[in-house]
Structure 1
Amino acid sequence: MQIAIDGPASAGKSTIAKQLAADLHFIYLDTGAMYRAVTWWALQQDIPLADEKKILTALDDEPIRFIPAPGGQRVELFGHDITMAIRSEAVTNNVSQVSALPGVRTEMVKRQRDIAAGQNIVMDGRDIGTTVLPHADVKIFMVASVAERAKRRFKDNAEKGIHVPLEKLAQEIEARDFKDSHRTESPLKQAPDAIKVDTTSLTIPQVVAKITAIIQKKQ
C-alpha cells in the first residue's frame, strides 16, 4: 500500500507521516530530506546552486545514501550520518532553488520510485501524489495557516537552539510557498483525488487519527 502526503512547508507532513508509518509498520520516506542532502552537498562543495550540470555530476560521483526504516530515515554521505546537518538554516533557505532544477527532480523522483517499489510505504513531500506516486492508494494534502506554520517552525528551531524572529519565519514560509507552487517542474499542488486536511487547529494525535480513518476506509 502506498500513502502519499503532500503540502507546503511546515504543514506537519513529516511529523504525521513518520507517526503513521510507525503505527502501520510501513516504511517512511521523507523526500524533502533527499533534496536537502543534495543542497547541503552543493553548499559544502561551493557548487553554484543554479549549476544543474555540476550538481547532477556530484549526484553521480558521491555516495549519498537515503536509508528508509520503519518510523524514520537516515541520510548518509561517505558513510557519515548527515541527517541533522541537512536541517541547517542555510539548507532550509536554499533547498527550494535546488529542488526546482528539472534534472535534479528527475533523478530524485527515479530514486523515490525505486525505494517505493513493492513496499508498504508512507512518503511525504510536495509532488508525491501528482508526480512520484500518481497511483498511490491514499493521497493526503495537508495545509495550515502561515501564522501557525511559522509558530511550529519557531518552536522546532528553539528546541535546536536556533533563534529566528517569528515574523522572519513567516516571510520565509510565504516565499517558499510561492517558489514551490510556481516552479515549472512538479509544482506544489493538490492532486485531484487527494483529500485536504487542514491542521491549523488540530493536535498531532487528532491529525493522525483523522488520516488513519481515511486509510482504513481504503484497506
Structure 2
Amino acid sequence: MSIPVLTIDGPSGAGKGTVSRAVAKKLGWHYLDSGSIYRSLAISALDQQLDLNDAVAVALCAEQMHLAFECKHELVVTLDGIDITSRLPGEDTGAAASQVAAYPEVRAVLLQKQKDFRQLPGLVADGRDMGTVVFVDAPAKVFLTASAPERGKRRYKQLKEKGIDANLDKITQEIQLRDRRDSERKTSPLIPAEDAFYLDSSSLTIDEVIEQVMTLAVT
C-alpha cells in the first residue's frame, strides 16, 4: 500500500507553512517542512563559520547535523539539541539557505532525510521541490505562489510581529533575488510539477487557500 503524500511547493512567503500545517492537522497526517531543514543547515554552517561557497564542506555539515522536529502550535526545530526555531525566519538564514540549497552535493545528502518523513497515515510535504524531486509519485500536488510585493509585505509583517527589525524594500528585493536564484539553479529548480495544481494566493485569505487545498487532498 502506497502512503499518501500531498506536496505543497512554492516560493518563500506564499503561505506554504501556514497552509501545510493546517491541512496536515485537519487530515491527521505527518508534516514535513523541508525549508526548515535547509535553514537549519544554513544556521549550522554559519555558526561553524564555514565558507558557504565550499559545497563539499557544507555537504559534510549536512551529514553530521542532528535535527528534531516537533509540530506543536507551530513547528519547533532543534539542531544538535538546541532550539533554533526563533532563528529560522531570519533573512540572513534564508539567504544562506537558498545559497547552500543550490548545491547538488547538499541536496543529495538531505534527500533521504526528507523521504523518511513519509509514514502512515500520510504526509503533507512543504517545500520547493517536493512534487518535482522528492515525492514525484505524490497523488496530490500544489504549487502555491503570490506576487513578490505581496510576499514581501507578509514576511515584513511576520518579522515585525516576532519583534525582529525589518526593512520592507530590502525584504522584497531579497525575495526577488531568491526567486531568480531558485528558479534558475541547475539542481531542483523552483518550478511547478507538470501535474501540480497552480494556486496564486495574492488575493486570497489563508482560510480560502486551505479550503481549496483540502478539496484537492480529499478528492
Q: TM-score category by the smaller chain?
A: over 0.9
The 3 A distance-change label for structure 1 pair 24 and 70 is: farther
1:10 to 9, 13, 17: 13
CA distance in 2, matches of 1:152, 1:116: 30
Tell me if the contact between 1:34 and 1:66 (Cα under 8 Å) persists in the aligned partners.
no
Partner of 2:92: 90
Give the partner amino acid of 1:135. D
Give the partner amino acid of 1:49. L
CA distance in 1, matches of 2:158, 2:76: 19
CA distance in 2, matches of 1:197, 1:61: 37
The 3 A distance-change label for structure 1 pair 71 and 30 is: farther
1:151 aligned onto 2:153 = yes
Query: Which secondary structure does the structure 1 equivalent of 2:191 belong to?
Result: coil
Tell me if the contact between 1:74 and 1:83 (Cα under 8 Å) persists in the aligned partners.
yes
Aligned-residue offset at 1:114: 1.5
Partner of 1:110: 112
Give the partner amino acid of 2:33. D
Partner of 2:215: 213
Deviations 1:81-137 (A, max 9, x none): 112222222212221111111111111111101121555110110000000000112
Deviations 1:34-63 (A, max 9, x none): 00011001000000011122122223333x
Partner of 2:181: 179
Partner of 1:123: 125
Partner of 2:82: 80
Aligned-residue offset at 1:65: 1.4
Question: Normalised by the size of structure 1, how large is the TM-score?
Answer: 0.93
How many residue pairs are counted as aligned between the two chains?
A: 216
Aligned-residue offset at 1:75: 2.0
Give the partner amino acid of 1:15. T
Identity %: 38
Trace 1:4-83 onto structure 2 (pairs within 5 A): 4-62=7-65, 64-67=66-69, 69=71, 72-83=74-85
Give the partner amino acid of 2:45. A
| Runs of 4+ with >4 A deviation | 68-72
**Structure 1: gaps spanning 5 or more residues:** none
1:202 to 196, 204, 210: 204
Aligned-residue offset at 1:73: 3.6
CA distance in 2, matches of 1:185, 1:37: 20
The 3 A distance-change label for structure 1 pair 211 and 71 is: farther
Aligned-residue offset at 1:68: 5.1
Aligned-residue offset at 1:161: 1.6
Tell me if the contact between 2:89 and 2:159 (Cα under 8 Å) persists in the aligned partners.
no
Aligned-residue offset at 1:70: 7.2
